[in-house]
C-alpha cells in the first residue's frame, strides 16, 4: 500500500472514530440528504455538523453535490471496502498462530 492510499485509509479511520460522524453515515445510508436535513437530525450545532461533513467528505466516505442552492450528501458505501479489507487482513490468523 503506497503512502497516498495509507493516508486516505488513515482519514477514513479518523472519520469513523467519532460517534457523530458514524451517526451521520447511518443517516445517509437511507439516501441522499441536504445539509439542513442532516443538521436537524442531530443535537449539535449546524457548524459542528458542517465540520463533521467536511471530515467525512475529505475521507471520501461521503460525496457532495451542489444543486439549486443546496448541498446534498451521499454515503459512498464503496469507499468502506478499503476499511473492511484492512480490518479483514489484520484480523486473519496466520497458520503458525492457529491451534
pLDDT in tens, 48-92: 999 999 999 999 999 999 999 999 999 999 999 989 999 999 998
Backbone CA torsion sign across 11, 75, 55, 23: negative
Domain membership of residue 54 (yes or no) is: yes
Provide the domain count of the chain: 1
Domain membership of residue 85 (yes or no) is: yes
Domain membership of residue 97 (yes or no) is: no
Average pLDDT, the chain: 90
Q: 78: domain range?
A: 3-91
Identify the CATH number of the domain in which residue 50 sits.
Answer: 1.10.10.10
| Beta-strand pair 33-34/70-75 | antiparallel
Domain membership of residue 96 (yes or no) is: no
Contacts of 20 (CB under 8 A, 6+ apart): 42, 44, 48, 52
Amino acid at each position: 500500500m503506497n503512502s497516498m492510499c495509507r493516508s486516505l485509509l488513515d482519514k477514513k479511520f479518523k472519520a469513523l472514530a467519532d460517534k457523530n460522524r458514524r451517526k451521520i453515515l447511518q443517516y445517509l445510508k437511507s439516501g441522499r440528504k441536504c445539509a439542513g436535513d442532516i443538521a436537524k437530525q442531530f443535537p449539535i450545532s449546524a457548524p459542528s455538523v458542517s465540520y463533521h461533513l467536511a471530515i467525512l467528505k475529505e475521507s471520501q466516505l461521503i460525496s457532495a453535490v451542489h444543486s439549486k442552492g443546496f448541498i446534498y450528501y451521499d454515503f459512498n458505501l464503496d469507499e468502506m471496502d478499503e476499511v473492511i479489507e484492512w480490518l479483514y487482513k489484520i484480523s486473519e490468523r496466520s497458520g503458525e498462530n492457529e491451534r
